[in-house]
Structure 1
Amino acid sequence: MARKNESPAVQAPPEPGDEYPEKVRILAEGRLVSDRLWNADLAPARQRNWRVRSLFALWMCDVHSIAGYTFAAGLFITGLVGWQVFLALVLGITLVYFLMNFAGTAGQKTGVPYPVLARMSFGLFGANLAALIRALIAIAWYGIQTWLASEAVLVLLFSVWPQLTSLDGPDVPRILGLTPLGWAAFLVLWAVQLLVIRRGMETVRKFQDWAGPAIWVAMFALAIYILTQAGNKFSLSIPGVAPLDGPAALTQFFSAIALTVTYFAALLLNFCDFSRFAPDRKTILRGNFWACP
């Protein structure tokens, strides 16, 4: 709603069923609706069809990624042994589970995204700063994830067509660290993701409902392939990294827990953007319960 010193145009009440009920009620009471504070993206969600499967698939797509695997593998370089890394991940993800439930409940009850929820803490217009900071972080992550995915695509291309490696060799000119072939892979993936996102959250939900299970199938297939190639033998120790013990191991253990929570901080901040489409709180609890482990 607008402040008294604002002068947004008063919109005529729309036909029933053509607008958001909250806006219809406000206009029917003769009050004003500010275009600076309300639009279709910020309004409470009208469709609440993100059920347990959709939230579960969201976690599949977020966790089972190159960045996620790189993070988990990086914990072994800290000097922790296998069981310590596993326990740190379990404890960290348990904390994430409860934090996600808090953030998810706020989104589900209000039906609004983070930029609107932030108004409770930062004020009507102070929330714009928080939203802009989040947007900059999202842009960075969008680029990082797209670059990692493009590198994976190049690996697949080189496996199928080895002759393409000549287009990505050390002698090939690079622009900002990428060869023309690298840029082509990056821009194609960038455009495909943008195409899905621009079609709205319902398209995102349908896409990830398919992509999430597909990622799990690929994950298990790769795990079996790697284990077979290793002769059914593997080691969780890193050559050249001495295991820690005593206070040093304990300190690093708690650091690993904190790093796990930090890794999920971006999704924790954004989770209300997805949970606002859930029909009830029970759906959020069940989706997180089955997905977080």
Structure 2
Amino acid sequence: MISKCLSLHLYPHPHFHFLTDSHNLKSPSSLTVKQRFPVKTHFCPSISISLKNRCSPPLSMASAQLNPIPKHDDFEPDPVLSNDDLEPTRPEQRTFSGWEMASLWVGLVVGVPTYYLAGSLVDLGMAWWQGIATVVVANLLLLAPLVLTGDPGTRYGISFPVLARSSFGIRGANVPTLLRALVGCGWYGIETWIGGEAIFLLLPNSIKQSSALSQILPWLGTSPLEFCCFLTFWLAQMAIVWRGIEGIRSLEKYSAPILIMLTFSLLTWAYINAGGFGYMLSLSSRLSVSQFWSLFFPSLTANISFWATVALNIPDFTRYAKSQKDQIIGQIGLPFFMGAFTFVGLAVTSSTKEIFGRVISNPIQLLGQIGGLTTTILAIVGISLATITTNIAANVVAPANALVNLSPSKFTFRNGAFLTALLGIAFQPWRLLKSSESFIYTWLVGYSALLGPIGGIILVDYYLLKKMNLDVAQLYSSSPRGDYYYWGGYNLVAISALIIGMLPVIPGLLSKVGLVGPAPELLIGIYNNAWFFTFFSSGFLYWILSCLTGENKGRSQIIEPLYPSTS
């Protein structure tokens, strides 16, 4: 009898789930019994039996999923989804202390756009204290998603593009990361233009007054001389970008105290020469109560949007933090830093009325008006340093990582950053900065409609659905059986929630930029609160659809991080 001549001893492979998902083996249905299980056979000499295509007991995938992910020696990410810039940070790479995280924010905050932000609100009719309060409230509200999104970066050592794979799928993650990259490219252009203005300030008047170089070209929207200064600063930044994330860390760490000192010096100069801040303190609101609230909410959205970019890709930095404590301590200072620096911007701007007889809201123009060789040199150093620290950290890292995630075999952090810089030129930032209204309503509020839904979906996925438990090995696996493969590598639920959440904002946006006629008040109101609306609507919709479809069920057992924090 066959039963006496053949005995099978079937033992499920203890790491079958990991092997199939992380090493891209064939699916179980296509494997023979011998391939699927260790097989021990004893044959009678006269009997030959093929074991192919025989049925076998199904594996318990639930139990397989609870296996802890492999440590470094066994971690073999799919090369299609990874390179050195995308792999989880190792313990020795966790070098950011709480002070260094705080220094990152000091470097980000101290810059011309922040100086200009509250001043723009005063230009639109707010009192000085209303402008500062709006900025502080916005950043207090932003602090929650900032810290919450930073948690998986520190816990698992993963960047924003890799985190997005959990909710959008290993291929679908390109959608949110490229949208974030698009905004980063625009901001890179704006900051670079500001740095170019600092170089323009240094030039002799004989050159600046040359009719051939200073005449604005209609097709370009600026003068050849200013455009050349813009390109010069553009090139200067690339030298720092080429050093990678460690160069950025050193720049932020050592620049922070210098920027604080220069900011305090400017404030002291304004106070002494204006005889105090009486003029600023006497400025009252030019708005009625209804007008104030009509301005407050879009301004609140604009201020949240100001750092909503970094709040989205903050794992790109917190993955280098020594511990969760360090990343939290380093970030809770953001509202204070923003409030303090916007106060400086308003105080100095208001003092120019007393000193020069007119209001000078642009700090670069102000420093040029002060004059003197020493002042000019300090101005160039200060503005350049402030601009570079903000621009590289906030506007290069995310787009560069997005491009690496798009094609790890073709892009590295360096060439991704280079392409980001090229796209920054295409945004023509001198047009975006032509007025306070275009800066706040067109640019800041407009892109918040892109970032809000992404943030809502990622946080709902990580905290409510995944319960903070991610399988890092599978985030780097392209196996169709992987947890984050969904439908062909795309989580259609997340993408649908993203699109549906943005749709109500589009009519208001098109109306604001002048592509269509006036939109209904309801749609304008939705647009003015674009970040809030899209963040909560897309997040809620994603949660409901995920529960209905059964996707994104959280694990019942905690998965150990691949590279645990060093403290």
TM-score (norm 1): 0.82
2:304 aligned with 1:261? yes
Q: Deviations over 1:215-253 (max 9, x none)?
A: 2111111222233333334534899x9622333323433
2:220 aligned with 1:176? yes
Indicate the residue corresponding to 1:117 in structure 2.
163
2:321 aligned with 1:278? yes
Q: Is the 8 A contact 1:168 1:179 kept in 2?
A: no
**Residue 167 of structure 1: CA displacement?**
4.1
**Residue 266 of structure 1: CA displacement?**
1.0
Indicate the residue corresponding to 2:206 in structure 1.
163
What is the CA RMSD across the aligned residues, in angstroms?
Answer: 2.7
| Matching residue within 170, 173, 180 for 1:134 | 180
Q: Is the 8 A contact 1:66 1:149 kept in 2?
A: no
Indicate the residue corresponding to 1:26 in structure 2.
75
CA distance in 1, matches of 2:154, 2:265: 35
Is the alpha carbon distance of 1:238 and 1:271 closer, same or farther for their aligned partners in structure 2, counting shifts above 3 Å? farther
Q: Deviations over 1:189-222 (max 9, x none)?
A: 2122222122111110001111222221111112
Q: Deviations over 1:42-71 (max 9, x none)?
A: 111120111122211211121111111111
CA distance in 2, matches of 1:216, 1:226: 16
Q: Which runs of 5+ in 1 are unaligned?
A: 7-20, 28-32
Aligned residue pairs, count: 270
Residue 84 of structure 2 aligns to a residue whose secondary structure is: coil
Is the alpha carbon distance of 1:290 and 1:233 closer, same or farther for their aligned partners in structure 2, counting shifts above 3 Å? closer
CA distance in 2, matches of 1:233, 1:129: 48
Q: Is the 8 A contact 1:2 1:37 kept in 2?
A: no
CA distance in 1, matches of 2:210, 2:282: 33
Is the alpha carbon distance of 1:184 and 1:117 closer, same or farther for their aligned partners in structure 2, counting shifts above 3 Å? same
Ranked by relative contact order (alpha carbons within 8 Å, sequence separation 6 or more), the top structure is: 1
Q: Is the 8 A contact 2:121 2:131 kept in 1?
A: yes
Q: Which runs of 5+ in 2 are unaligned?
A: 1-21, 28-69, 337-567
**Residue 80 of structure 1: CA displacement?**
2.2
Q: Is the 8 A contact 1:107 1:275 kept in 2?
A: yes
**Residue 171 of structure 1: CA displacement?**
5.2
CA distance in 2, matches of 1:5, 1:135: 35
Q: Is the 8 A contact 2:155 2:319 kept in 1?
A: yes
TM-score (norm 2): 0.44
Query: Which one has a bigger Cα radius of gyration?
Result: 2
Indicate the residue corresponding to 1:60 in structure 2.
106
**Residue 23 of structure 1: CA displacement?**
5.4
CA distance in 1, matches of 2:214, 2:104: 40
CA distance in 2, matches of 1:170, 1:203: 36
Indicate the residue corresponding to 2:269 in structure 1.
225
**Residue 114 of structure 1: CA displacement?**
0.8
CA distance in 2, matches of 1:203, 1:171: 36
**Residue 105 of structure 1: CA displacement?**
1.2
Is the alpha carbon distance of 1:170 and 1:281 closer, same or farther for their aligned partners in structure 2, counting shifts above 3 Å? same
Q: Which amino acid aligns with 1:78?
A: L
Is the alpha carbon distance of 1:242 and 1:285 closer, same or farther for their aligned partners in structure 2, counting shifts above 3 Å? closer
Residue 332 of structure 2 aligns to a residue whose secondary structure is: helix
Is the alpha carbon distance of 1:5 and 1:122 closer, same or farther for their aligned partners in structure 2, counting shifts above 3 Å? farther
Indicate the residue corresponding to 1:104 in structure 2.
150
Indicate the residue corresponding to 2:288 in structure 1.
245
Q: Which amino acid aligns with 2:75?
A: I
Q: Is the 8 A contact 2:213 2:225 kept in 1?
A: no
Indicate the residue corresponding to 1:198 in structure 2.
242
Residue 235 of structure 1 aligns to a residue whose secondary structure is: helix
Q: Deviations over 1:247-291 (max 9, x none)?
A: 332343333332221111111112111111001111111111234
Is the alpha carbon distance of 1:226 and 1:23 closer, same or farther for their aligned partners in structure 2, counting shifts above 3 Å? same
Indicate the residue corresponding to 2:40 in structure 1.
none
The sequence identity of aligned pairs, in percent, is 28
